[in-house]
Structure 1
Amino acid sequence: MSGRSLYRLTATQAAKLTKPGRHSDGGGLYLSIDAHGRKRWVFMYTRLGKRVELGLGGRRDLSLADARKEAATLRAMLAVGGNPKVERARDDTVQTFGACADAYVEAMQPSWRNAKHAAQWKMTLTKYAAPIRERAVKDITTQDVLDVLQPLWNRTPETAERLRGRIENVLDAARVKGLRSGENPARWRGHLNRLLPKRQRLTRGRHAALSYDAAPEFMASLRLRSAMAARALEFLILTGARSGEVLGATWDEIDLRKEIWTIPAKRMKAGREHRVPLCGRAMQIIAERSEAGGVGYIFPRTSADLPLSSMAMAMLLRRMKQGVTVHGFRSTFRDWSSERTGFSHEVCEMALAHTIANKTEAAYRRGDLFEKRRKLMEAWSGYCAGGMKQSQSPRPA
């Protein structure tokens, strides 16, 4: 085959061509453009007197150079009597996107924090990516990815963005294994960001928070309520913990003698064990709860040995007509500790189990400033108790 019969197109021509039909690059490789202007690479060959068309991938995902490499491989297969379509079909039965996605989740699962994280990956790649699971992973195009993402992009943007990232990871892994070539059709920067609107993100600190000046009065009102959600929320505020850490707290995490709550790494956002000093009022709550059994979850549901619902504290705040979020109380504590105390930035940040942003400092820090944090949390408890009157007694929520 002469050089003149190969490489007839240039990358610029491939990008600018718009006329529907097949445009030959030579050697059986064509750029096919449909009536809607969508472009894809196809390989044409004749076998047993029949003309066969084999799709290689979209132009946006497969560069001209990569398409030529694929065509050269198929020509070599034909030269030794092989049948490209049959060989690709045989591969497709075991190299679908779904099979690659399942293999990726299984391979990565040991590196993830917990089983819930793995379950979320598996669910999104099974439920939301269902339209492409049976497709050959090497044939997944940008349009395929868009068909999966667009129904979710405006309705549930956070889910859609997570799904996009997971599809991108699966396709990257498939490419490393040699199961596909070309650009990743799920890549965001310089690719999908040209086709999908950027999601409006909540900036850090947007959780509605109570002013620390109002905290004593709020805590006094909260102490009047006897519901489980009220005790859980009070405990959360006094410890500066996240809602998931409080709701999942079990009795074996509490050291009553040392007055310490140790949250295991698997339940922490940063994936590291976190010790929480328990102030006097927090220990009172623990003592009250221990009278109910002291087994399983500290804040269980009333009907079963299950943790309190994740919505229980939010619904309590709604009934109290506060207009704030549960997570916002961490900001309340942080504002108070910065503006009303002399404790260092590091102590305040560690009280919230925040990671140290400075990598050099993080590498040299060995302690967790526990005793200083205990003094900080006792001061916070005392400040919160400022609005409590001795005559007040709990009432139902």
Structure 2
Amino acid sequence: MAGKLQALQIERETKPGKYADGDGLYFVVAGPTSRSWSYRYWFGGKERWYGLGSFENVSLKDARLARDAARLRVKGDRNTPGVDIVLEKRTARVEAQAEAAAAAAPPAPTFSECAQVYIDKMWDRWSEKHRDQWPSSLKTYAYPTIGDLTIAEIRPSHIQTLLTPIWIAKRETANRVRGRVETIIAANVEINDPAPNPAALTKVLREALPKRPKRVVQHHPALPYEEMPAFMAALSTASGRAAKMLRFLIFTACRTNEIVAGAWTEVDRPASVWKIPGERMKMEEDHSVPLSEPALAILDEARNGEQGQLIFPGDDGEPFSENAMLAVLARLGYGHVTVHGFRATYATWAEDCTDYPDGVREAALAHKYKDETTAAYQRGQKLEKRRALMRDWAAFITGANVIALRAGNAGP
């Protein structure tokens, strides 16, 4: 079949082969029932075969017209660059398959659905306070703006919108809501996802939010350290788990939330150490607390007959709130001081009455150094040095060295 193909010839041709019609058009016979048209061209130095349809559906005349249209697209003109039509067709097929797969896949969950999954997951680990605040704050402040959006649809501008009304008027609430939204988003993205978390408090988001006035620092009312021996003597007469918990808090100089959720699994009794996991620490770093003899005695007393997970459980088995310890203070006539204030009492005593280095005193309070160089140098927890410090603190507040202190402060 030399030269141009003839309709009658191709009608009868069944021998496998590729029969040229000219200008890149080929009649391709793969078998008696498999005959089709194809356009052969070169693009970027590569040979391409572009299908034009089967012989049963496309006549010789129509195949030539299709070949001509394909040639124009491949060659292009002054205003339009040439196109690799095989690659174009392949790309379109891949995109169509992806779209079909996306259409068949279940819809992505909304933020409110993701939040509920996270809340359900954390429910058994949370205190009653967290169980109340997480769902309530998200429903009030986050869901109206991003509740119906998927995680992928949330943008920093959405976070700005939901935070702006409360950023100044309800500072702490705004901080907590933003942190909770950031946590839920982080729990629903891949660890290697390069996209930044839209709820992260970046410089850009901070600048977009209203300017907050400088906060006036209000220190927690604290008891002067000179009054601690008398106070501890009174506290030792108070009954109940809340009173024991307050005594333990004072001996360890820990924060309230670290105490109320303390678990027996965290206590290493042979080593006299309480290991608090970072998830419950303000600085989110594990913290080991050396336990003095009075602190260990409180634990031994609390352990007697106690089978639960918490060291100081409430009557319902759930963690106590700070109010329980505040009530103890009020009953003893010390309602003018706060529970957190005992950390300030300890810090002032340690600075005024001891020669322990700043690093040891600050490590006992689990404070984080602002100076990165100092932080790197002081990274060790100085457990044994802090053990001696906490032993001296326990001796002081129980009255063991009150006489020596008074003698040292006595006038001429």
TM-score (norm 1): 0.57
Matched, 1:214 2:227: yes
Cross-structure match for 2:323: 311
Q: How do 1:86-165 residues align onto structure 2 when only pairs under 5 Å count?
A: 98=111, 102=114, 124-131=137-144, 132-134=146-148, 148-149=162-163, 152-153=166-167, 156-163=170-177
1:378 and 1:136, CA in 2 relative to 1: closer, same or farther beyond 3 A? closer
Distance 2:199 2:288 in 1: 44
1:186 and 1:384, CA in 2 relative to 1: closer, same or farther beyond 3 A? closer
Distance 2:260 2:227 in 1: 25
The Cα offsets for residues 333-392 of structure 1, whole Å up to 9 and x where unpaired, read as 011101110111111111112234332343355642111111111111111012999xxx
1:230 and 1:196, CA in 2 relative to 1: closer, same or farther beyond 3 A? same
Q: Please identify, of 266-275 and 327-336, the stretch whose mean Cα deviation from structure 2 is larger.
A: 266-275
Q: Please identify, of 270-279 and 147-156, the stretch whose mean Cα deviation from structure 2 is larger.
A: 147-156
The Cα offsets for residues 42-61 of structure 1, whole Å up to 9 and x where unpaired, read as xxxxxxxxxxxxxxxxxxxx
Cross-structure match for 1:245: 258
Matched, 1:328 2:328: no
- Give, in angstroms, the shift of residue 292 of structure 1: 3.0
Q: Secondary structure at the match of 1:129?
A: helix
1:363 and 1:291, CA in 2 relative to 1: closer, same or farther beyond 3 A? same
- Give, in angstroms, the shift of residue 257 of structure 1: 2.7
Distance 2:229 2:236 in 1: 11
Q: How do 1:51-90 residues align onto structure 2 when only pairs under 5 Å count?
A: none
- Equivalent residue for 2:396, pick from 373, 383, 386: 383
- Give, in angstroms, the shift of residue 145 of structure 1: 6.6
Cross-structure match for 1:198: 212
Could you list the runs of 5+ residues in structure 1 that have no partner in the other structure?
1-89, 390-397
- Give, in angstroms, the shift of residue 140 of structure 1: 8.8
Is the Cα contact below 8 Å between 2:225 and 2:346 reproduced in 1? yes
- Equivalent residue for 1:344, pick from 345, 354, 357: 357
Cross-structure match for 2:239: 226
1:361 and 1:128, CA in 2 relative to 1: closer, same or farther beyond 3 A? same
Q: How do 1:293-308 residues align onto structure 2 when only pairs under 5 Å count?
A: 293=306, 295-301=308-314, 303-308=315-320
- Give, in angstroms, the shift of residue 250 of structure 1: 2.0
Determine what percentage of the aligned residue pairs are the same residue: 35
Cross-structure match for 1:84: none
Cross-structure match for 2:30: none
Is the Cα contact below 8 Å between 1:279 and 1:381 reproduced in 2? yes
1:297 and 1:150, CA in 2 relative to 1: closer, same or farther beyond 3 A? same
Aligned-residue CA RMSD (Å): 5.0
Amino acid in the other structure paired with 2:330: R
Distance 2:194 2:263 in 1: 47
Distance 1:142 1:252 in 2: 40
Is the Cα contact below 8 Å between 2:277 and 2:285 reproduced in 1? yes
TM-score (norm 2): 0.55
Distance 1:227 1:189 in 2: 48
Could you list the runs of 5+ residues in structure 2 that have no partner in the other structure?
1-102, 403-412
Cross-structure match for 2:376: 363
- Give, in angstroms, the shift of residue 210 of structure 1: 1.6
Is the Cα contact below 8 Å between 2:160 and 2:208 reproduced in 1? no
- Structure of higher RCO (CA pairs closer than 8 Å, 6+ residues apart): 1
Amino acid in the other structure paired with 2:329: L
- Give, in angstroms, the shift of residue 280 of structure 1: 1.7
- Give, in angstroms, the shift of residue 137 of structure 1: 9.3
- Equivalent residue for 2:386, pick from 373, 377, 392: 373
Q: Secondary structure at the match of 1:275?
A: strand
- Give, in angstroms, the shift of residue 287 of structure 1: 2.0
Cross-structure match for 2:11: none
1:307 and 1:217, CA in 2 relative to 1: closer, same or farther beyond 3 A? same
- Equivalent residue for 1:354, pick from 350, 367, 370: 367
Q: How many residues align?
A: 295
Amino acid in the other structure paired with 2:248: F
Distance 1:122 1:276 in 2: 33
- Give, in angstroms, the shift of residue 236 of structure 1: 0.4
1:178 and 1:211, CA in 2 relative to 1: closer, same or farther beyond 3 A? closer
Amino acid in the other structure paired with 1:311: N
Distance 2:353 2:164 in 1: 48
Is the Cα contact below 8 Å between 1:216 and 1:383 reproduced in 2? yes
1:364 and 1:341, CA in 2 relative to 1: closer, same or farther beyond 3 A? closer
Distance 1:374 1:268 in 2: 20
